[in-house]
Amino acid sequence: MLSLVIPSYNEELNICAVAKVITQLLDQHKITYEIIFVDDGSVDQTFKMIETLAKENPKIRGIKFSRNYGKEAAIIAGLKSSKGKCCAVMDGDLQHPPEHLITMYDLWKQGYVIVEGVKTSRGKESWIYSKFSKLYYKIINNFIDMDLSGASDYKLLDRKIVDILIKLPEKDTFFRGLSLYFGFPRTTVEFEVAERASGETKWTLFGLFRYAVNSLSSFTAFPLYLITMVGSFLLLIFFILGIQTLYNYLVRGAVEGFTTVILLLLLIGSTTLISMGIIGHYIAKIYEEVKGRPRYIVEKMLPNQDLSLEGEIENE
């Protein structure tokens, strides 16, 4: 059976269209399936739409978070609830073309345990989003030594990969990169990002920036090493300036360069604050992990289940 996990946040305009397209597609190809919609704390009628769909089709299930915990948490919740021998993840706005699910499923049957959806184009997006994305992937590819260019959350995983993923103890995951981290036989399916069926993207520029920082720090400690490298470079500069200052004092009898001193103080101060911010971010991630709070809290599940099980699922 194929389990399809669809994280959703304020997608009341898209849920029904997504369900219709996917069910028709999978029924047409005679693929046994279940669809798991995960409502990530939507404030519109998203979950009511999911409830209606679940009543009409027993193959559709729903999970509702008590609040917005983020897409990563929604993906993990859906995967934990899945029952299929393989699991696919796709967005709930039809920007991930559903027809590629068939190709992914066929490749899985050929023996690939990870089938990655790779974007050949990013669709319509603003100039600043496009430039930010290119810069982000350029930085992260150099830092984590993995090529995430064109990577997406649209992918199909074998059950053994899903089991490995949901057993990871870390709470702040980066699903897009973890599938690359695992290794195993893999292949890719290229696709072009389609236009949203309805509505607008829920991502803000700040949200994208936070996502970029979290994903980078989840995979590498290089920014911490960078602090040491910058400090060593500044030490070399200060050593050279120290020799120059001492020479001027001994030869000329006076030390000049008040402007230089001010600029150096500003440079040292800004570098120190940036370094403290980087270190603070890693400490904050450690703090979030050691608190031991659940990654998410489920308010309701469809079909109805005993929510006391969620404590066991989240704290295993």
Q: What is the pLDDT of residues 18-35, one digit of tens each?
A: 999 999 999 999 999 999
On whether residue 207 sits in a domain, the answer given is no
The per-residue pLDDT for range 234-291, each reduced to its tens digit, is 788 877 877 877 777 777 666 566 666 777 787 888 888 888 888 888 888 888 888 8
Tokens at residue 236, please?
């070399």
On whether residue 217 sits in a domain, the answer given is no
Pairing of strands 298-302, 33-39: unpaired
Confidence band, pLDDT 50/70/90 cuts, at residue 311: very low
Residue 6: CATH number of its domain = 3.90.550.10
On whether residue 213 sits in a domain, the answer given is no
Assess whether 241 and 272 both reside in one domain: yes
The per-residue pLDDT for range 203-237, each reduced to its tens digit, is 666 666 777 777 777 777 778 888 888 888 878 88
Assess whether 110 and 252 both reside in one domain: no
The angle formed by the CA atoms of residues 230, 235 and 238, to the nearest 5 degrees, is 125
Assess whether 133 and 252 both reside in one domain: no
The average confidence (pLDDT) of the chain is: 82
Assess whether 183 and 237 both reside in one domain: no
- Tell which wins on pLDDT, 288 or 124: 288
On whether residue 186 sits in a domain, the answer given is yes
On whether residue 154 sits in a domain, the answer given is yes
Assess whether 174 and 259 both reside in one domain: no
Confidence band, pLDDT 50/70/90 cuts, at residue 127: low
**Among 205, 204, 208, residue whose Cα is nearest residue 216:** 208
Assess whether 264 and 129 both reside in one domain: no
The angle formed by the CA atoms of residues 85, 89 and 90, to the nearest 5 degrees, is 145
- Region 184-198: mean pLDDT is 81
pLDDT score of 86 more than 60? yes
Q: How many domains does the chain have?
A: 2
On whether residue 215 sits in a domain, the answer given is no
Assess whether 152 and 139 both reside in one domain: yes
Assess whether 143 and 274 both reside in one domain: no
On whether residue 238 sits in a domain, the answer given is yes
Assess whether 24 and 114 both reside in one domain: yes
Assess whether 98 and 121 both reside in one domain: yes
Assess whether 300 and 189 both reside in one domain: yes
Assess whether 176 and 86 both reside in one domain: yes
Q: Report pLDDT for 125.
A: 61
On whether residue 209 sits in a domain, the answer given is no
- Domain ranges, residue 275: 222-290
